[in-house]
Amino acid sequence: MGAFNLPEKFKIVKAAEAAAANGVTYDTISCKDAFKVWFIVESTGTSDTDAVLSLVASTDVADSTTTAVTATFPIWANTNTASTTSDSLTKQTDAASYTINTGTTGKQLVVIEWDPAKHSDGYDCIKLADTGGDASNTMSALAIIETRYPQADPPIVITD
């Protein structure tokens, strides 16, 4: 088996800084050279205002033309990352959105998988979006992009 090098095969991008859960701005990711994109979202805080995560497709990383993704996608969640006894991600039902219920526990981890083959014609970029959330809770996100052409310095994905 050949050597596996994470940064050469998968582009890792900070998709959002930790920000108030009711006002997160996410980077748009170009999927032109991507097989798959995973968004890893960390949510912290216990104020019980649910945040709903979804995806938005765009024609370019400047978001000139956008549309809400209505196709379903795989989702995994750990609804209690504060627990020292649970590190499991549980497969959720595929859906076009996921609700983080902050009233359940304060620290959660969500993984959303996007297959660029599901893009509508003319769209080749994707980003997270959220609605709801509470200003006293925070969310941050990473995007992990499986690249088509692994290389020592993977191509930039936040520009066209």
Domain containing 58 equals 6-65+77-82+97-147
Q: Round to whole Å and give the CA distance between 160 and 157.
A: 7
Number of domains present in the structure of the chain: 1
Taking a C-beta distance cutoff of 8 angstroms, is the pair 138, 21 a contact?
yes
Query: 149 falls in which pLDDT band (50, 70, 90)?
Result: confident
Q: Which helix (H) or strand (E) holds 42?
A: strand 34-44
**Has residue 92 been placed in a domain?**
no
**Has residue 153 been placed in a domain?**
no
Task: Compute the Cα dihedral for 144, 28, 111, 91 and give only its sign.
Answer: negative
Q: Which residue has the tokens 């088509």?
A: 148
**Has residue 17 been placed in a domain?**
yes
Q: What confidence tens digit (pLDDT) does each residue in 5-25 have?
A: 788 889 999 999 888 888 889
Q: What confidence tens digit (pLDDT) does each residue in 83-130 have?
A: 777 788 999 999 999 998 877 677 899 999 999 999 999 999 999 999
Taking a C-beta distance cutoff of 8 angstroms, is the pair 30, 15 a contact?
no
Query: Is the pLDDT higher at 136 or at 125?
Result: 125
**Has residue 155 been placed in a domain?**
no
**pTM score, whole prediction:** 0.91
SS3 8: helix
Query: Is the pLDDT higher at 30 or at 9?
Result: 30
Task: Compute the Cα dihedral for 43, 48, 54, 58 and give only its sign.
Answer: negative
Q: Which pLDDT score, from 0 to 100, does residue 104 have? A: 66
Query: Is the pLDDT higher at 138 or at 95?
Result: 95
